[in-house]
Amino acid sequence: MKKIISFILCAVLACSATVVFAGCGSSAESKGEVNVYSWGDYFAPGEDGLMDVIAEFKDKTGITVNLTTYDTNEELYNMLKSSNVSYDVIIPSEYMITKLIKEDMLLELDYNNIPNYSEISERFKKLPCDPDGKYTVCYSWGVTAMVYDKTKVDKKPTSWDTLWDESLKGDILMINNSRDAMAIAMQLCGINPEECTKADVDKATAKLAEQKPLLKKYVMDQVFTEMESGQAAVAPYYAGDIAKMMENNEDLDYAFPEDGSNLFYDAFCIPKSCKNKENAEAFINFMQKPEIAAENCKYLLYGTPNKGALEFLDEDIKDNELTFPNEEYLDKCYTFSDVDDEVYAYMQEQFVKVQAE
């Protein structure tokens, strides 16, 4: 018995010593830390001739970055809502920002600490989800488009209805995400997804149920392998990712449906649980330095809202419609910034039901 007690005491001592030393180590050499909670793979990682922007931030400022990642906005929300972990910077999408602001979960930013905010183009300041421009600094944006295989689809699709084309039966992929799938169906039914009601969701559900027998699969990330290896003919996906797929398979091409599509954006925010607000603002400011924003844009191939970054981008990225769709097309797009919680939950439920039928 004595042995056990002394063993436990030793263990406790050893643990506390490590903690103390670890604590000393980090405070001696750095200026604290910033806890960033972001989408996976969301910053240029230092490969393929790109800068490792996170390491660069640490070099320049001495602030340590603790990066944690999430896969869905809902995961982010549940984490903020129900755990005690504190994060300093988060990058939610538009509809989630609306929700977080409504539930008073974000801190107002001090834009004096983020001088690079002036680099953001006007379209992406005072976003619909943050009309007074108090909580957000836009990080990246994009639209939903269609990717298709030229060897399987004869002519360039012009509308989402290609995804309902009987002649492509068994070769169509559909996006496995209730918001995007419902919105595509709504646009074909002539409904504006921005202000949809439960009745509209029902119509979209019927449209999706009609599509199901024609589909090969519902996909998210799997769309890359499916399209790149020529297993399917057409799929809706995020434009920046379509650009990546096209790099890997010459037979692929893109199409912007004339119905318009979804303009989405993610923005830096600081949640109420933040403990290092100044470091968080320093991080946001750093990411909006034109040359850094350009690095991230080169990696993600999603549009950057940073005007200054354009100077640092090659012509082929700047001219790529997938990364920077033209202004006229953007005017045709809708944003999902304010769908009622209840309608959104209903959408999710109905989409699962379409799949479960």
Partner 1 sequence: MKSRKLSIPYLIWMVIFTMIPLVMIGVTAFTDKDGHFSFEPFINAFQYTNVFAKSLWIALLSTAICLVLAYPLAYIITKMKRSTQNTVIMLMMIPMWMNFLLRIYAWIILLQKNGPLDMALSLLGIHGTYIGNTAAVIVGMVYEYLPFMVLPIYTVMSKIDGGLIEAAQDLGSNSFYVFKKVIFPLSIPGIISGITMVFVPSASTFLVSQYLGGTDDIMIGDVIDKIFWTDQNTGAAISLVLMIFIFIFLVIMNLFGDEEAIA
Interacting residues with partner 1 (CB under 8 A) = 72, 74, 170, 178, 212-213, 215-218, 222, 225, 229-231, 344-345, 348-349, 351-353, 355-357
CB of 315 or CB of 357, closer to partner 1: 357
User: Which residue is associated with the tokens 């449209």?
Assistant: 207
CB of 24 or CB of 220, closer to partner 1: 220
CB of 127 to partner 1, least distance (A): 23
| 3-state SS assignment for residue 2 | helix
Is 300 within 8 Å of 319 (Cβ atoms)?
A: no
CB of 120 or CB of 215, closer to partner 1: 215
Q: Report the DSSP beta bridge partners of residue 140.
A: 266
Q: What is the dihedral of CA 270, 272, 278, 281, to 10 degrees?
A: 10
CB of 60 or CB of 81, closer to partner 1: 81
Q: Report the DSSP beta bridge partners of residue 149.
A: 252
Helical packing angle, 178-188 and 341-356, nearest 10°: 90
CB of 331 to partner 1, least distance (A): 31
CB of 118 or CB of 229, closer to partner 1: 229
CA distance 176 to 38: 21
| 3-state SS assignment for residue 291 | helix
Neighbours of 16 (CB within 10 A): 10
Q: How far apart are the first and last CA of the chain?
A: 61
Instruction: State both tokens at 150.
Output: 């030229």
Is 57 within 8 Å of 65 (Cβ atoms)?
A: yes
CB of 352 to partner 1, least distance (A): 5
CB of 149 to partner 1, least distance (A): 12
Instruction: State both tokens at 159.
Output: 């509308």
CB of 123 to partner 1, least distance (A): 30
CB of 134 or CB of 169, closer to partner 1: 169
CB of 155 to partner 1, least distance (A): 23
Largest CA distance in the chain: 82
CB of 30 or CB of 72, closer to partner 1: 72
CB of 126 or CB of 152, closer to partner 1: 152
CB of 208 to partner 1, least distance (A): 11
Phi, psi of 303, deg, nearest 5: -65, 145
CB of 232 to partner 1, least distance (A): 9
